[in-house]
Amino acid sequence: MNKKTDSTTIDNLPINVAIADDQILFRLGLVTILNSLADVKVVCDVSNGKMLLEYLSSSTIAPSLILLDMVMPELDGMSTLAILKREYPMLPVLVLSSHDDHKTIFAALEAGANGYLTKSAPPVEVEEAICAVMRHGNYLKIPRSENGQQFMPLISPESATAGPQILLSGREKEILALVCFQYTSAEIARQLHLSERTVEGHRNNLIQKTNSKNTVGLIVYALKNKLISLSQLLQS
C-alpha cells in the first residue's frame, strides 16, 4: 500500500472510518495503516459494538464507512450489524474478521454487510475493499480452496437451496447479471441503451423483489438461484 497516495479519494471527499475490533494490537495497526492513506481518517476506534453505537449516537463527526469485527465482547458483530442496518441503513459496513468459514461470511452478507474481508488480507486489499465499497457499495471476493484450484462455495450447504422463485423479467435478469459483475448504473445504461434513471429504477426494484439489503444481497440471490455462477464472477 502506497503511503499518502490519492487512490482512496472518492470524489475529493475524505473517507471517515470507524473501527470496532476488540484485538487492540490489530486495531491500532489498522488505524496506523488507514491514517497513512490520502483522504482517509479514522475518526473512531473502539473495542465492541456497544461503544461503536454510542459513538454514532453522540459524535458530530459521522463516519463514511464502518470496519466491523465479528467476535467482540458486550455486543458482537452480527448483533451490531443488525442494529446498524436498521438505524443507519445508508452507512456501509465492511466486515473485517478472523473467521473465514463460509457460513459466517454468508450470514454477514445476508445480514446486510457491504463486504467481507479476513484479517489475513494484505493492507492493499483492505484499501481496495474500502474504495470498492465507497464507489460501488460492495466488495465481494469469492474465496478459493486451500490448494487454490477449486472454487469454494460461498453459500453454505444448509442455505444453498433457493427460496420461492421470484419472477424476474428478461430485462431484470440482464441488469441483475451486470450488477453482479460490478457494472455501475451509468455503464449498464450505456450498454443496454437505457437512461441511468431507468437502470436505477430496475436496480431498486430488484432489491425489493429479492428482499435484498444491498448489491451484495443481489449477488447472493443470483448465486443461490443459479442466475450466475461462481466461475463467471471470478472471470469478470
Q: Is the Cβ–Cβ distance between 22 and 73 less than 8 Å?
A: yes
pLDDT band for 234, please (50, 70, 90 cuts).
low
* DSSP one-letter code for 230: H
Name residues whose C-beta falls within 8 Å of residue 112's C-beta, 6 or more positions apart in sequence.
Answer: 81, 82, 84, 85, 93, 213, 214, 217
Distances (CA, A) of 68 to 75, 122, 127, 128, 178: 11, 17, 15, 16, 28
**pTM score, two decimals?**
0.68
Q: Considering only CA atoms, which of 64, 234, 11 is closest in space to residue 140? A: 234
Cβ(206)–Cβ(218) below 8 Å: yes
Mean pLDDT of the chain: 81
151 pLDDT exceeds 50?
A: no
Host H or E run for residue 70 = none
**Stronger pLDDT, 206 or 183, i.e. the higher one:** 206
pLDDT (0 to 100) of residue 8: 52
Mean pLDDT of 83-110: 88
Packing angle, helices 196-209 and 185-192, rounded to 10:
110
pLDDT digits (tens, 9 = 90+) for 94-107: 999 998 877 788 78
Task: Express each pLDDT in 8-51 by its tens digit.
Answer: 555 567 899 999 999 999 999 999 999 998 889 999 999 999 99
What is the SS3 assignment for 41?
strand
Cα 231 to chain center, whole Å?
A: 20
CA 159, 206, 227, 134 dihedral sign is negative
State pLDDT tens for residues 182-200. Answer: 788 899 999 999 999 999 9
Spatial separation of the C-alpha atoms in residues 227 and 180, rounded to whole Å? 10
HEC-encoded secondary structure of 83-149: HHHHHCCCCCEEEEECCCCHHHHHHHHHCCCCEEEECCCCHHHHHHHHHHHHHHCCECCCCECCCCC
Domains and CATH numbers, the chain: 15-136 (3.40.50.2300), 157-231 (1.10.10.10)
